[in-house]
Amino acid sequence: MRNALVTGGSRGIGRAISLTLARQGFHIIINYKSNKLEAENTRKLVEEIGSTAEIMQFDVASKTDVESKLEAWKKNNEGEYIEALVNNAGIRKDGLLVFMTDEDWSDVLNTNLNGFFFTTRYLIKDMMTNKFGRIVNVVSLSGIKGLPGQTNYSAAKAAVIGATKALGQEVARKKITVNAVAPGFISTDMTEDLEEKDFKAIIPMKRFGKPEEVSEVVGFLVSDKATYITGEVISVNGGLYT
């Protein structure tokens, strides 16, 4: 059994990634924070494809939560390890920096950046022991270009991009690749407050992307077709200048 953990797999891009990796033959561990119903729906969709899945609740921003849930999984699945990790869970809390509350700053950093750190640090040990692993971090155009109104989110995603490049070099010898995928505007719950038509002028492809257009790139990076790519950031943004 090849196991893949998708954080934030209950909805949006994470759900699409869960389905793409299921088609590639992985058993999917679908992490979610609070939306158990949608996590169960992702599990059902994975099973319809003919693969297997389980749901796993934890808050990526909580070290104790991350470590205790993953420790419990290890105990229940002796001899197995999670060889593919997709750090996808993320939130945004936009606002101009001059008005930004401490909470909006730290919530976004804790989820998008510390979530990557806690989950990756725990799982990479087994990848190193097994001398194989795949880590894909879902970052953002915002972390490459910087978007006004998103200093917290841009800072968190840019930090994950830096970590991707550094970690890729640390573990390359162990046949572990670490890459990032940077979506532009993708139609999910996260962007439901944005009017697609308002962005047509700036997106060369004149539309928002679909979650599947991101998940197929993640699937490629996890697959055996991407054995010599590490520390890389691939944009999926319909041609937006980055």
Instruction: Name the residues that contact ligand NAP, by CB under 6 A.
Output: 7-8, 10-14, 31-35, 38, 59-61, 88-91, 111, 138, 140, 183, 185-186, 188-191
Choosing from 122, 153, 228, 241, which is the catalytic residue?
Answer: 153
Q: Quick one: 168 or 211, whose CB is closer to ligand NAP?
A: 211
Residue 70 vs 138, nearer CB to ligand NAP: 138
Give least dist CB 237 to ligand NAP, A.
8
Q: Which one, 59 or 213, has the nearer CB to ligand NAP?
A: 59
Interatomic CA distance for residues 77 and 33, integer angstroms: 22
CB 190, min distance to ligand NAP, A: 3
For residue 188, the minimal CB distance to ligand NAP (Å) is 3
The amino acid at residue 221 is L
Question: C-beta of 53: minimal distance to ligand NAP in Å?
Answer: 14
Q: Which is nearer to ligand NAP, 172 or 212 (CB)?
A: 212
d(Cα 73, Cα 206) in Å, to the nearest integer? 43
The question of whether 153 is a catalytic residue gets the answer yes
Give the residue numbers annotated as catalytic, written as ranges. 153
